[in-house]
């Protein structure tokens, strides 16, 4: 298989598709048509079987969209960290209630509205 790099950006009405390996532009009405359009362009320009073409597609988005996507990624990472910290604090609270306050696992489950199985997981985890 031959690899071709494809760069895609949104024009006014169409997706503009540039295939570096053949140094040509084409267009697609819908994003779902980009790969087939690029593959057809390469097949015609290089006289090859479309099935023998492998594409790497890079979509060029507006700067503001990229900034927002990066911010969303950062927020997801922060949420993952916060969830891990919250789980650790819950685990510590369960241990404190059992070890320092003398509550049974069932009592901890009732007080924290957790299942007894979950409390057991927290104690043993």
CA angle 40, 46, 24 (to 5 degrees): 65
Domain boundaries, the chain: 2-60, 65-124
| Each residue's pLDDT tens digit, 18-68 | 999 999 999 999 999 999 999 999 999 999 998 899 999 999 999 999 999
Q: Which CATH class is domain 65-124?
A: mainly alpha
CA distances to 25, 91, 101, 121 from 88, rounded to whole Å, are 53, 5, 19, 12
Token pair for residue 85? 């910290």
CATH 3.40.50.300 fits 2-60, yes or no: no
In terms of pTM, does the model score above 0.75? no
| Each residue's pLDDT tens digit, 92-118 | 999 999 999 999 999 999 999 999 999
Is pLDDT above 90 for 1? no
The Cα–Cα gap between 125 and 111 comes to 20
The Cα–Cα gap between 63 and 53 comes to 30
CB-neighbour burial class of residue 37 (10 A; exposed 0-12, middle 13-18, buried 19+): buried
């Amino acid at each position: 298989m031959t690899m071709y790099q494809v760069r895609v950006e949104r024009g006014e009405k169409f997706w503009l598709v540039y295939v570096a390996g053949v140094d040509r532009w084409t267009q697609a009405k819908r994003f779902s048509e980009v790969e087939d359009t690029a593959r057809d362009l390469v097949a015609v320009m290089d006289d090859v079987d479309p099935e023998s073409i492998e594409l790497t597609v890079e979509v060029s988005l507006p700067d503001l969209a990229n900034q927002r996507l990066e911010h969303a990624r950062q927020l997801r990472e922060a949420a993952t960290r916060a969830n891990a910290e919250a789980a650790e604090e819950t685990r510590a609270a369960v241990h404190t209630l059992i070890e320092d306050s003398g509550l049974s696992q069932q009592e901890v489950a009732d007080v924290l509205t957790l299942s007894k199985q979950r409390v057991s997981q927290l104690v043993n985890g």
